[in-house]
């Protein structure tokens, strides 16, 4: 007997196929949700061709769905959880019917009387548990459903599953978009999520394989995974992954620290780009920066934490454009007969990356003490400037216009600038070095002073003045958003009217000078936890420190959550 087949797996785009291959090799993790009382999946979304009818169907007349979605879910069925569900069914039965449709029967096949008559669309765990429980029949809501409707129901059911990993959720959203040819906005409306939430989840699909593996293994949470996913190149993502998950003496990197690290090391201001950002052919496959999807302004849902709209999130593309621009400048210079100093010759002129000093040459765009004031050579000489050369920085690849000190001396002499009034480049450099030496000395003095204070503090009690200094410094080190949130809360509690503008936020720290010890303690306690109070759809802190403090001090956070939900529900009714 040849068994009739259910709907074949839907052919997807190559991208979707890649994701499905990734899903097939993901680490298994089971959901222990008892789905007996689960809501009928997608009831309000999928409309069958005819009204469903409730039927009690023998288990041997049902067959599992053959779709790729169910095949993947079947890999994650947990035997222990299935046994628990079977025990529950023995006691109370199946409370939520399965969803099924008439099994396809090919006219080319001679079907046997005892062949399965219905295909399980949703509820296969209940079906398997019912077998273990020894049931003969199960309740099934039977409807005429197309293959597309079956896939849609299964996708929605999977998205409603308890314990669903964020990457699986993202894959479900993408499959819905492919299946129904809709965008993220429509998916958000369909599943009852915000637009930014769906955008953030689907962005996780941009993670490199190594980051996906770390995410499934628990080395990354969803917030930090999103920070990495927003980086536009997989090689750069791998480096960021090492940064965020590498061994640290102070434990795993917090979300706030990870956010600051990514901003500092993997986001580049386009206003400072060393290439024309509007050039569409500089790197043809990239196009202009203004139209690039990796520019923060073009994906505000994902980059709400970045103030500027003109920030590049793909350092590799940024570097490619920089290299292309430098190559173009070099070619143009050589075509005009301009000398380009590169390689070993450039290394002799600029031997160190940490210093901007050049041996025997002067940058045209660098401010010098020259002609009795601080100015560039170009500003002083104007049209009398000797023909410059281009020096290729041996450390960064940047091209900089330079003139030799010998040619500069001649040009200055011709212009009537005497070495005495010029102060000489050598003297200017000497003053710079003297200042740097003075700064290094001052740094050592201050560090040793701090060490002496630390030693003194070991044998004394901290005073109110110490606490005030610490509290003000702690407050001033908070980011502005955290400062404002904290200050607004304190002023509201005190019944103070909030002034216009934002200056009042910065001034609040000065109040530490008049606070007593108890109030200072309250302020520092709030400041330590205020970051956990910011929750955003694109990511945020996990709130673990806040929860731990609540448990330690006996605050019933669950009761607070319940009351807030009631307040929101009451407000929604008004």
Query: Residue 49: what pLDDT?
Result: 57
The number of residues making up the chain comes to 574
Q: Tell whether the torsion through CA atoms of 130, 136, 139 and 143 is positive or negative.
A: positive
113 φ, ψ (degrees, to nearest 5)? -60, -30
Question: Which CATH code of 3.90.1150.60, 3.90.1530.10, 3.30.70.270, 3.30.1330.10 fits the domain covering 14-164?
Answer: 3.90.1530.10
Rounded CA separation 102/50 (Å)? 12
Alpha-carbon distance of 449 to 46, in angstroms, equals 72
Cα(177)–Cα(88) distance, integer angstroms: 36
Going by the DSSP 8-state scheme, the letter that residue 295 receives in this structure is B
- The span from the CA of 349 to the CA of 408, in Å, is 16
Alpha carbon 422 to its chain centroid, in Å, reads 52
DSSP conformation letters of 107-152? TTS---TTS--EEEEE-HHHHHHHHHHT-SEEEEEE----HHHHHH
Q: What is the pLDDT of residue 142?
A: 94
Q: How far is 520 from 518, CA to CA, in rounded Å?
A: 5
In terms of phi and psi (left: phi > 0; alpha: psi -120 to 50; beta: otherwise), the region of 535 is beta
Query: pLDDT value at position 51?
Result: 78
- Which residues make Cβ contacts (< 8 Å) with residue 444, sequence separation at least 6? none
* Nearest by Cα to 45 from 182, 198, 204: 182
Q: Which residues are catalytic?
A: 124
Residue 31 has a pLDDT of 39
pLDDT of res. 253: 83
- Where exactly are the structural domains of the chain? 14-164, 341-460, 464-542
- Asked if 321 and 275 touch (Cβ cutoff 8 Å), the reply is yes
Instruction: Answer for the pair 254, 198: CB distance below 8 angstroms, yes or no.
Output: no
Which spans in 192-337 are helix H? 195-203, 209-217, 222-229, 234-245, 255-266, 315-335
For all residues of the chain together, what is the average pLDDT? 81
pLDDT score, position 133:
94
Average pLDDT by consecutive 10-residue portion of the chain (574 residues)?
33 39 42 42 50 91 85 78 92 92 72 81 92 94 90 83 83 88 89 89 95 93 94 91 80 84 90 92 93 91 85 91 91 89 90 80 77 75 85 86 88 73 55 81 85 84 85 84 87 83 80 84 86 66 79 87 88 80
Query: Which tokens hold the place of 303?
Result: 């980059």
Residue 484's alpha-carbon distances to 221, 258, 292, 503, 504, in angstroms, are: 27, 21, 33, 10, 9
Which DSSP helix (H) or strand (E) runs through 67?
Answer: none
pLDDT at 287: 93
pLDDT of residue 48: 57
Q: Are 101 and 51 in contact (CB under 8 A)?
A: no
> How many CA within 13 A on the CB side of residue 124?
22
Collect all residues with Cβ–Cβ distance below 8 Å to 193 and sequence separation of at least 6.
187
Q: Phi and psi of 540, rounded to 5°?
A: 170, 180
């Amino acid at each position: 007997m040849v068994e009739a087949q259910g709907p074949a797996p839907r052919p997807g785009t190559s991208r979707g196929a890649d994701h499905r291959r990734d899903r097939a090799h993901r680490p298994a993790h089971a959901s222990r949700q008892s789905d007996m009382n689960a809501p009928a999946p997608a009831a309000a979304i999928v409309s069958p061709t005819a009204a469903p009818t409730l039927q009690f169907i023998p288990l041997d007349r049902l067959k599992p769905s053959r779709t790729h979605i169910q095949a993947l879910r079947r890999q994650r069925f947990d035997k222990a959880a299935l046994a628990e569900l079977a025990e529950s069914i023995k006691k109370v039965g199946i409370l939520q019917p399965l969803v099924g449709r008439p099994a396809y029967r090919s006219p080319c096949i001679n079907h046997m009387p005892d062949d399965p008559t219905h295909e399980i669309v949703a509820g296969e765990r209940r079906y398997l548990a019912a077998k273990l429980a020894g049931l003969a029949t199960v309740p099934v809501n039977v409807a005429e459903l197309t293959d597309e409707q079956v896939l849609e129901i299964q996708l929605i059911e999977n998205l409603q599953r308890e314990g669903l990993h964020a990457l699986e959720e993202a894959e479900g959203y993408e499959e819905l978009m492919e299946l129904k040819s809709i965008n993220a906005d429509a998916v958000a409306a369909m599943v009852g999520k915000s637009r930014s939430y769906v955008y953030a989840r689907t962005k996780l699909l941009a993670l490199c394989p190594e980051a996906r593996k770390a995410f499934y293994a628990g080395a990354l949470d969803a917030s930090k995974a999103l920070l990495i996913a927003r980086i536009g190149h997989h090689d750069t993502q791998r480096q960021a992954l090492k940064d965020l998950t590498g061994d640290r003496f102070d434990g795993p990197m917090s979300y706030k620290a990870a956010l600051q690290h990514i901003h500092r090391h993997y986001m580049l201001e386009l206003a400072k780009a060393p290439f024309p950002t509007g050039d569409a052919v500089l790197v043809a496959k990239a196009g202009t920066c203004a139209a690039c999807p990796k520019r923060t302004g073009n994906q505000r849902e994902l980059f709400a934490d970045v103030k500027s709209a003109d920030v590049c999130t793909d350092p590799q593309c940024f570097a490619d454009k920089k290299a292309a621009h430098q190559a173009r400048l070099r070619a143009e210079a050589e075509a005009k007969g301009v000398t380009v100093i590169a390689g070993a010759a450039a290394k002799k002129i600029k031997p160190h990356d940490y210093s901007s000093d050049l041996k025997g040459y002067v940058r045209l765009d660098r401010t010098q003490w020259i002609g009795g004031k601080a100015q560039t050579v170009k500003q002083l000489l104007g049209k009398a400037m000797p023909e410059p050369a281009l020096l290729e920085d041996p450390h960064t690849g940047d091209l900089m216009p330079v003139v030799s000190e010998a040619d500069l001396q001649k040009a200055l002499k011709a212009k009537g600038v005497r070495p005495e009034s010029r102060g000489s480049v050598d003297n200017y450099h000497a003053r710079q070095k003297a200042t740097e030496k003075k700064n290094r000395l001052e740094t050592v003095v201050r560090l040793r002073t701090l060490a002496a204070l630390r030693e003194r503090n070991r044998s004394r009690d901290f005073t109110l003045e110490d606490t005030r200094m610490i509290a003000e410094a702690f407050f001033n080190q908070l980011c502005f958003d955290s400062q404002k949130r904290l200050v607004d809360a304190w002023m509201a509690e005190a019944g103070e009217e909030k002034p216009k503008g934002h200056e009042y936020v910065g001034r609040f720290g000065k109040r530490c000078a008049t606070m007593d010890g108890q109030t200072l303690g309250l302020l520092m306690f709030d400041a330590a936890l205020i970051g956990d109070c910011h929750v955003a759809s694109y990511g945020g802190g996990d709130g673990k420190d806040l929860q731990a403090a609540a448990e330690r001090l006996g605050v019933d956070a669950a009761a607070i959550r319940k009351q807030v939900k009631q307040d929101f529900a009451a407000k929604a009714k008004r």
